[in-house]
Amino acid sequence: MINSLPPDIQEQLDQRCPCMSKPLAECDCQIDPNPELAEVAESLKSAMPWLENAYCLIGSGGLNKRYERLYMSICDALHHGREALEHLEDEADEE
């Protein structure tokens, strides 16, 4: 079973907008994906706080300097996760 996040970290993550780009109070994003993609969107949205937590954890202990490839991979995952959230409203590609 996956442990839940510490309350202070969870509170910080709960204050982020769904696209994770801004604090909730400042964001005007409205991610309303195609119904076909609802489960995909939910999975992405639930993954982002875990990725952000990994980013915070590796940076807080200075591990980002000792494990640079891991740190950069986490950064890439965050970037691509945010990018994926932005594409949820895209039209389907033509077949």
For residue 56, what are the domain limits?
A: 47-88
Distance CA 65, CA 11 (A): 27
- 77 within some domain: yes
Distance CA 55, CA 95 (A): 37
Structurally, the chain folds into a number of domains equal to 1
pLDDT digits (tens, 9 = 90+) for 18-54: 566 566 555 656 555 577 888 888 899 899 999 999 9
Q: Identify which of 22, 27, 1, 12 has the alpha carbon closest to the alpha carbon of residue 57.
A: 12
- Rounded mean pLDDT of the chain? 79
Q: Taking 70 as the threshold, does the pLDDT of residue 6 lie above it? A: no
Report yes or no on whether pTM surpasses 0.85: no
- 79 within some domain: yes
Distance CA 79, CA 86 (A): 11
Q: Taking 60 as the threshold, does the pLDDT of residue 85 lie above it? A: yes
- 9 within some domain: no
pLDDT interval class at 87 (50, 70, 90): confident
Q: Give the pLDDT score at 18.
A: 58
- 61 within some domain: yes
- 55 within some domain: yes
